Structure 1
């Protein structure tokens, strides 16, 4: 029997992040900080056209430059591909094309055509400009909205430019409900393309050792073990011949979940050059070719009775997946349909989704990839309230699910449990003092000022158990000194996984947090894990640490009980000591127990192995852990200039017990700000010929601290199944903020009869809405 851990001392508290001393003093190690002996540098030659045939490439001038080692084309690298599929989604999905370099035809502006390798980055860039590529322009499929009716195909094997589609029951089954409903709200809502924009762009260093047949990779990634598996398949190498090292990663947000085409090129080219090969993406490349997100529209509808009770919901969703989506996009598109009923009591629903190619950069994962469902649903609910003459809050109260209704299956079969939609909604309203705001809004309108309030309540799946994400491992080693190291796979890109692992381990073993360190991000020494994605890290690391620590507690307890001549069940672990419960001053320091375990195995009780090191693997009790929250936004709109000033942003979140409230709130804030930017500022725009027109921060606008209000937090804690009851929190802010901001603006503009169906809400668009010129 192992000693139960003492009451949590660190989990649930705002301990300082263990990452901060190095990151805040500029001592982090990012990919561009990696230097290897004889290292070479890579630069891509990229297509200036959205679609064209490649009729010739002349690299002679580039190769003539002193210090240029190679110029690789598709025929040099692409045949080296053995397999390329992502563990995240599995071998057997009907994936879309993804050649490392463009073969015969370029399919978006920024498509990599050649890879230049030179002695330094500056020379590589100069040489890339000397590579002459002859193109024969072809008509591009620039707008995904028209792509299914176009005679032009982005990929020859995909009629109608359809990358994939999925659907629920036929709409005809629900048609009578909609036909007989007192009110049907129906809109086609368009969301613009916007992107993750991590602070650190993509980067990779690959070093091939021909003598040992081993590949070493340093990269900024959310999942080092995914990179290792992908590389082993790509190059046809045994897994143990690939080592991936991830140190610090300056943001990922989904963009760095899996290797992309440029990573493939560097891996393939590394075996053909005489030294390590580094590629660091610049910001223009990142905006032009690292992938787009969000770009979608849908015909969405909700049927209600005259009292505002929801009767049915349906959505026909279409998303732009660009030329080369990463990873397979059809699953996330289906999630839009399946989650569309949200946290509401919806008796019947159906959905259909379509993923459509275009000659633009490929669709990529981005924080809550299915978030369109919340945007469409919440906009429709506000519109329904206006048409019924109800306050939007009252309409939601009538329909939101409550804690005491769990478990609950939504009409698309999603098995909700352990969520509190109505409770978070009411908490957010109370934090605002909703009734007082409505009175203030009325006074402001009389003065010619236009205030608005908007909400979004959502439910999201976290820790979804698909392939790579199904289990998580941890190794804990108590050193002979009594200090502790915990090894987990890592993938921390700003989400404080180091701090979480240290807090959890300190509590699990009853030791001081200062005596715990963590090793993450090196596949040579860390157990296999899924990395960061799907809001999984907190609950999975908690499970892995708990599973592993229980083995060590049992061993420590047995040694201490034997040494102290006590029963194992009377031993408790706290303060770095194993002591007899109720006997003050008794006990052994963990360092003494470790010394016995490593150096005096003859003193151990029968059956107890030497050493204090254990590995464990956690498999969650539930295939999905559900999380919910309410976002509430207030704003003021200047109807003359179209300027939106965000006044307050409140988030009531139920992510279960919090490992570290400061980290939780930081995750919420980061996502919320990205959501605000996606409504008011950010737009990855293309012209009618498929040319990107926002490839610098002069054109692609981001919110700054001057535009973002202080975010206020409310917490409701409903434990999830599993150790600690922890849930995920990483994606929710980016899901909940956009609808809340949109509805706040729409509420401010209600006197003008404005209906918002197209984003972003630029000043120009808002002025048009006020004038009734833009629906």
Structure 2
């Protein structure tokens, strides 16, 4: 039998295999897991934003039958180490904090005590009986006020609330102003938001006293790094801890850190010798889990008479909340590094400052650098308004061409494998860039945003940034004795479609059908140590590691097959759908040997293997990506604003995307649409609001609005891809650029609509109240 070389499985739009169980309610989330003898935890949280703990009386709680423990910070001193965040980064102030505060609380919702009881209802009731006496302190909830010399200190151990001040300079930006025809300053303010995963945080911890082994079941994006944090904080060894992340109902960055609640549950499971579970309710999630995004930026651009950039400076101030679960420079630094995107900027400086406030701590949220594209293209639009030049022509004049790549960006990374000149022209064609006239009732605007998305960070990036850790990923593939295949990688899925996409990658690399490939994720005992799911690294780092491992496996399989066929070399052999084919007279023919035959020999008759070949079929490979991998896209949209109400409507939305090689177009399309929807939601609706006393005014879904299907327009997506030149299969990643582009495209469209009125929207969200105020001259003031 002969046949032509078939297409590979990578690139096929295969249905997600995991949807079969998830859509039928057969998923396995933390709350679905039942464990005999498990007890339940509830936390006592502070109603105040800033207060000293005078006393805690737990007697009334302990009087309830079925309450087994009420633990305060003093009870855990010496049992669990403080969190210490102190990488050797110039300008970064080292911080540390206790797992349970012993002296004072720093934000509304901060932890005070933990109750363990027979069921959750009893634990909640007991928590309400814990009496805490507070000495209320002045709270600071504005990052600019927090930076003042006389501001109340959030962390008494520090000299001030300023935990980061870093400056990076490329060239001589200050010297360019004398030659500039235009000097324009522009401000941008992105509001505080939260992740709102469908599944809130939760965990089950159990301690096996006989084996001295801790098992933590939790929805985590990073099972292995989470384990590393656990063993360090609890004084254990890596081999004493298993972290299992089953199905995870959304993360978006919220489920990366080891939070204090999980650590407390683990410590108490060890102390009490009983399994303990904790499930966060929605109020806790919105109030006390992790927030993101609150940043203020000011750019100063210097340009010649033709609109060509002479120099650009960025000042960025970020509100990091009450605790540093991450190095506080991390999020703002990435904004500074990638800000210039695919524009040529020879002279550049970014100056970043991060402040602590009496609000929930901050961490990465899908596209932590989300504001960058809005700031860059919004700055070019401001330059266009000041100069009278066409904003699209300004973009064209400053954009790098393909011939100028690779390009050393002024932020320090090397840009390559992008084509924004092509994606922008295509987006303009699809959106139709002609201006619609305003009328008595409506204002019309069209916005363009070019996005350079930093996706996969390699180890070199972390090394250069002074941050400990690695960017590599590891893969293990086992061909089982019956010829089926199991692949594992150190990632955890929370809606990514990894089980399907990675089966396609392994199928392509090994030469088998994806239907015979099982993917194991999210379990530290089953998968090799990897850095987890974050950013857009899953497909590139995880898929790259699996593909290279699979290719290595196919080479080994064909070596054995050649021996079985009496051949001296495997040069004219290949594996297709698990069958070995041989090239005979220019045609591929089935050789009569398949992967199941090879597996039986390898496991059950190792003496028949080629000399020096080990028994079994297990393969391991690591892949460390380049320092930074880039995808790009252009987003364009049209909006209408009602003059009388300020109501914003998006009437058309186009994306032209370059995310490199695509493993599964269906999954990629879902990720792209989801990212755009998340960006639109954050741009027009979401807002985490605190009053001056530090009270969270938006800690329910009645107050914290998120977009529904009714709020999201039809999103038209077009591909104009170029493969990555430094990654297996040409993979580049694409999970976050949609957020970046949506923010910039919608905000720029709104400002295009407002331009005839001589006003500009400089802050998000673009609510009807805010837009109405701009239109009618009574906008809310903002830093």
Q: Could you state the TM-score of these two structures normalised by the residue count of structure 2? A: 0.94
What is the aligned partner in structure 1 of residue 264 from structure 2?
265
Q: How does 1:16-165 map to 2 (within 5 A)?
A: 16-82=15-81, 84=83, 95-149=94-148, 150-165=150-165
Q: CA deviation at 1:456?
A: 1.2
Query: Are 1:676 and 1:738, in contact at CA under 8 Å, matched by a contact in 2?
Result: yes
Question: Per the alignment, do residues 87 and 9 of structure 1 end up closer, same or farther by CA in structure 2, a change over 3 Å counting?
Answer: farther
Query: Are 1:478 and 1:594, in contact at CA under 8 Å, matched by a contact in 2?
Result: yes
Taking the aligned partners of 2:181 and 2:410, their CA distance within structure 1 comes to 21
Taking the aligned partners of 1:34 and 1:536, their CA distance within structure 2 comes to 29
The secondary structure found in structure 2 opposite 1:204 is strand
Question: Per the alignment, do residues 13 and 116 of structure 1 end up closer, same or farther by CA in structure 2, a change over 3 Å counting?
Answer: same
What is the aligned partner in structure 2 of residue 10 from structure 1?
9
The secondary structure found in structure 2 opposite 1:736 is helix
Q: CA deviation at 1:164?
A: 1.5
- The answer to whether the aligner puts 1:594 opposite 2:599 as a matched pair is yes
Query: Are 1:190 and 1:297, in contact at CA under 8 Å, matched by a contact in 2?
Result: yes
Q: CA deviation at 1:322?
A: 0.6
What is the aligned partner in structure 2 of residue 192 from structure 1?
191
What is the aligned partner in structure 2 of residue 753 from structure 1?
758
What is the aligned partner in structure 2 of residue 208 from structure 1?
207
Q: 571, 582, 585: which one pairs with 2:573?
A: 571
CA deviation profile, 1:20-44 (whole Å, cap 9, x unmatched): 1011111111111122121011111
What is the aligned partner in structure 2 of residue 584 from structure 1?
589
Query: Are 2:441 and 2:642, in contact at CA under 8 Å, matched by a contact in 1?
Result: no
Q: CA deviation at 1:289?
A: 0.7
- The answer to whether the aligner puts 1:464 opposite 2:457 as a matched pair is yes
- How many residue pairs align between the two structures? 762
Question: Per the alignment, do residues 222 and 462 of structure 1 end up closer, same or farther by CA in structure 2, a change over 3 Å counting?
Answer: same
Taking the aligned partners of 2:358 and 2:178, their CA distance within structure 1 comes to 39
Q: 747, 763, 772: which one pairs with 1:767?
A: 772
The secondary structure found in structure 2 opposite 1:633 is strand
- The answer to whether the aligner puts 1:656 opposite 2:645 as a matched pair is no
What is the aligned partner in structure 2 of residue 234 from structure 1?
233
Query: Are 1:203 and 1:278, in contact at CA under 8 Å, matched by a contact in 2?
Result: yes
Moved more, 228-237 or 585-594: 585-594
Query: Are 2:326 and 2:363, in contact at CA under 8 Å, matched by a contact in 1?
Result: yes
Taking the aligned partners of 1:356 and 1:742, their CA distance within structure 2 comes to 26
The secondary structure found in structure 2 opposite 1:569 is coil
Q: How does 1:714-725 map to 2 (within 5 A)?
A: 714-720=718-724, 721-725=726-730
The secondary structure found in structure 1 opposite 2:645 is coil
Taking the aligned partners of 2:77 and 2:420, their CA distance within structure 1 comes to 50
Taking the aligned partners of 1:549 and 1:387, their CA distance within structure 2 comes to 56
What is the aligned partner in structure 1 of residue 465 from structure 2?
none
Question: Per the alignment, do residues 197 and 6 of structure 1 end up closer, same or farther by CA in structure 2, a change over 3 Å counting?
Answer: farther
What is the aligned partner in structure 2 of residue 705 from structure 1?
709
Unmatched tracts of structure 2, length 5 or more: 463-467
CA deviation profile, 1:253-310 (whole Å, cap 9, x unmatched): 1111121121221122221223111111111101101121111112211111121111
The secondary structure found in structure 1 opposite 2:124 is helix
Q: CA deviation at 1:459?
A: 1.4
Q: CA deviation at 1:583?
A: 4.8
Taking the aligned partners of 1:135 and 1:7, their CA distance within structure 2 comes to 71
Query: Are 2:92 and 2:329, in contact at CA under 8 Å, matched by a contact in 1?
Result: no
The secondary structure found in structure 2 opposite 1:28 is coil
Q: CA deviation at 1:386?
A: 2.0
Taking the aligned partners of 2:85 and 2:137, their CA distance within structure 1 comes to 31
Q: CA deviation at 1:89?
A: 10
Taking the aligned partners of 1:95 and 1:724, their CA distance within structure 2 comes to 41
The secondary structure found in structure 1 opposite 2:271 is coil
Query: Are 2:10 and 2:663, in contact at CA under 8 Å, matched by a contact in 1?
Result: yes
CA deviation profile, 1:296-353 (whole Å, cap 9, x unmatched): 1122111111211111110111000010132112122222222222221112110110
What is the aligned partner in structure 2 of residue 686 from structure 1?
690
Q: How does 1:466-485 map to 2 (within 5 A)?
A: 466=462, 467-485=468-486
Q: How does 1:334-413 map to 2 (within 5 A)?
A: 334-413=333-412
Q: CA deviation at 1:704?
A: 0.6
CA deviation profile, 1:391-440 (whole Å, cap 9, x unmatched): 322221121222222100122322111111211111211222324xx3xx
What is the aligned partner in structure 1 of residue 629 from structure 2?
625
Unmatched tracts of structure 1, length 5 or more: none
Taking the aligned partners of 2:46 and 2:662, their CA distance within structure 1 comes to 47
Taking the aligned partners of 2:559 and 2:765, their CA distance within structure 1 comes to 63
Taking the aligned partners of 1:322 and 1:583, their CA distance within structure 2 comes to 63
Q: Could you state the TM-score of these two structures normalised by the residue count of structure 1? A: 0.95
What is the aligned partner in structure 2 of residue 539 from structure 1?
540
